[in-house]
A = this chain, B = another copy of it.
Amino acid sequence: MIGYGGDYNPEQWDRDVWDRDYAAFEQAGINTVTLGVFAWAHLQPAEDRYDFATLDAIVDRATAEGRRIVLATPSGAMPPWLARAYPDACRVDFEGRRHVYGQRHNACPSSPDFRRLAVALAGRLAERYGANPAVVAWHVGNEYGGACYCPLCGAAFRSWLRKRHGDLDGLNRAWNTTFWSHVFGDWEEVQPPTALSEHWRGPNHTAFQGITLDYRRFMSDALLDGFVAEKAAIRAHVPRTPVTTNFMGLYQPVDYHRWAPHLDLASWDNYPPEDPSAARTAARMALAHGLVRGLRGGDPFWVMEQTPSVTASRDVNPVKRPGVLRLWSWQSVAHGADAVLYFQLRQSRGACEKYHGAVLDHAGRTDTRVFREVAALGREFARVGGALTGARTPARVALLVDWDSWWAVEMSDGPNRNVRYLDVLTSYHRALWQANAPLDVVPVTADLSGYDVVVAPLLHVVKGDFAARVSAFVAGGGTFVTTALSGRVDEDDNAFPDDGPLAPLLGLWVEETDAQQPDVVNPVSLFGAAYEARHVFEVVRVTDAEVVGAYEADFYAGTPAVTRAARGRGGAWYAATLLDDAGVAAVVGAALAERGVTGPLADVPDVEAVTRAGADGTRWLYVLNHGERRAVACPVSGVDVLSGRELVAGEELVLEPADVLVVRQ
């Protein structure tokens, strides 16, 4: 069964509304409800008083209705009394200001009082509801993120640093504190990096990258500690039910790779930023799905939230066009989701999410386009979904994502503040996505040996044994692709005192790094065509590599812009500049070609084709039309389980925009 449903907060309505809700859920095939996400205030109206009556009724009703329950701990938003009793449970922001009560996601992760109270409540919830078999997953907190810079966090940071760097000598060396007279002589001198200490203009402008980088790691770990503590409290009562928390996909502040080992189940909230191109939006979701699937070694994951219609928090919130809800939901499944849930089932009456879309609107109407689309999809999932869950993705290509590089390259002074990690990552990903290359999205610590091609855009930080492992991968016959600004700094953001650890593999060193305004293009000639390069232009000196592409302009015209070094049975590609999408696709295409990696329908733009393989060996090809083209050649033979149609490889198909095939081969 594909999980289908979403966040449900019936405590906001009278009981007669519950009856109407469940009637509608029945109509829509909704089998899963997420309960209690922001319920702290009514679960614990005062520090010394718990009240489970309302949640009991809600859980009982859901159970009686035969729904699966995702039960949340409410630590994503503390109640007013907590902030009043423990003012230092509120965060201090980057500007150094202590906040008072308001909003959500507002608790200091280092506050012992908040921790104690959140853990106690998680334990009580587990004790009370853990035995209910309807509870199929635990959902701790909500969208962990943000940061706190308070004195408690300062103290916790210093403890964290002692563990990481051992002594002050290690710290001073790591942070290169001789520069600007920053040599720390006492741990107490170390403060969180804020607008009042090392920063100017904002979080990416810091005098000491090493301090800020460590603080980001620390803060990610501090938030994780809260999750781990609540999970332990649940586990004390609930031995097996999976515990998760809802991630946010490509979210910079939290390093999900540091969190991954602590999850039983990965899940995330799919609210893609608006892109005028539907295909770019689809590719970005595919990347995030891949990232989340990669957290647990390829296990199926959940989409914990998506909107059935509109968001509310954007400046401009367009409705999802007809068919898009179905298309995106099937895309989730194609990439490994075993549940597709909404925020939310019934729309809030007041406060900042009152216009966020829901399965049921304020009036509870079912005669709306949105409800009809939700219900039709629910029926479709119910009809064919059972066979699809639990499958895995057979990948031949790995795309590496590295939070350290993401942080480091964007907080670097020089060469170019316009370089954004996600811009480059998504550009390389789009090339793989358009090629329908069977892809995993994994951390730099992943085992590379099973892949044919490894792509690592903007791998600014090279740490641990990565250089050795990737060299072995290439020597063993793999193809590696990386870009300008890769291999520049170590894990403390110190420049390598030589040509860097990737130089031997790539067969070159970087003599100069030119940077230009966004409107400056240097054409790069590559495979007989010219592509546009922008932002960063490395002037490289090749020691042992083939020059594949060259700059056409400026004083370095004719020097290498793209190279390939043959090493052992494999090869290492280097793009010394930031190419446009077409240029990236040319480089990626050549790299895929040399290992014979060809995806289905690679020649049809904006049509996604993804394979999942069941435990029994059944292969399911998902074909999703994110573009406008209607005619495609069927890439495989089999049965489209959605339409029931028999398909023969090679036959010309009509696939309407936003339509989907799920072909059992």
Contact = CB atoms under 8 A, between A and B. Distances in A.
Nearest to A177: B41
Nearest to A13: B497
A206 B77 contact: no
A311 B514 CA distance: 11
B101 A189 contact: yes
Nearest to A188: B84
A665 B417 CA distance: 48
Nearest to A347: B495
A41 B178 contact: yes
B348 A312 contact: no
B103 A197 contact: yes
Given A353-B413, A414-B313, A40 B181 contact: yes
B351 A208 contact: yes
Interface in A471-527: 489, 492-499, 509, 511-517
Nearest to A311: B414
Contact of A180 (B103, B175, B362): B103
22 contacts: A42-B178, A46-B185, A74-B181, A80-B184, A80-B185, A84-B186, A102-B207, A104-B181, A179-B351, A207-B351, A210-B351, A316-B516, A316-B517, A317-B416, A318-B514, A319-B539, A349-B497, A355-B415, A362-B498, A363-B499, A368-B511, A370-B512
B101 A349 contact: no
A163 interface: no
Interface stretch (A91-99, A330-338, A443-451, A581-589): A91-99
Contacts of A417: 314-316
A182 B176 CA distance: 45
Contacts of A9: 178-179
Contact of A100 (B177, B191, B208): B191
Given A12-B178, A316-B415, 19 more contacts: A9-B178, A9-B179, A41-B185, A45-B183, A45-B185, A46-B185, A80-B189, A100-B194, A103-B198, A175-B351, A179-B351, A210-B350, A312-B413, A315-B416, A318-B514, A319-B539, A354-B413, A364-B497, A370-B512
Interface residues of A, number: 112
A186 B347 contact: no
A553 to B, nearest CB: 12
Contacts of A77: 180-182
A353 B493 CA distance: 12
A241 interface: no
A196 B99 CA distance: 5
Contact of A104 (B180, B194, B355): B180
Contacts of A313: 413-414
Interface in A180-217: 180-186, 188-189, 191, 193-200, 206-210
Contacts of A183: 41-42, 45, 79-80
A551 interface: no
B316 A351 contact: no
B352 A413 contact: yes
A189 to B, nearest CB: 4
A322 interface: yes
A178 to B, nearest CB: 5
A39 interface: yes
B511 A316 contact: no
Nearest to A192: B100
Interface in A338-368: 347-356, 362-365, 368
Interface in A288-312: 309-312
A362 B495 contact: yes
A63 interface: no
A78 interface: yes
Interface of A is mostly: loop
Contacts of A208: 102, 350-352
A256 interface: no
Nearest to A517: B316
A492 B494 CA distance: 50
A40 B185 CA distance: 13
A101 B197 contact: yes
Contacts of A493: 350, 354
Contact of A200 (B103, B414, B416): B103
A81 interface: yes
A460 to B, nearest CB: 11
A433 interface: no
A492 B354 CA distance: 12
A103 B179 CA distance: 10
A198 B316 contact: no
A70 to B, nearest CB: 18
A658 to B, nearest CB: 11
Contacts of A197: 99-103
A322 B555 contact: yes
A203 to B, nearest CB: 14
A251 to B, nearest CB: 17
A412 interface: yes
A195 B96 CA distance: 13
A103 B207 contact: yes
Contact of A317 (B317, B356, B415, B539): B415
Contacts of A175: 350-351
A193 B351 CA distance: 13
A337 to B, nearest CB: 26
Nearest to A494: B350
B179 A348 contact: yes
A143 interface: no
A117 to B, nearest CB: 12
Contacts of A309: 512
A418 interface: yes
A317 B515 CA distance: 5
B418 A196 contact: no
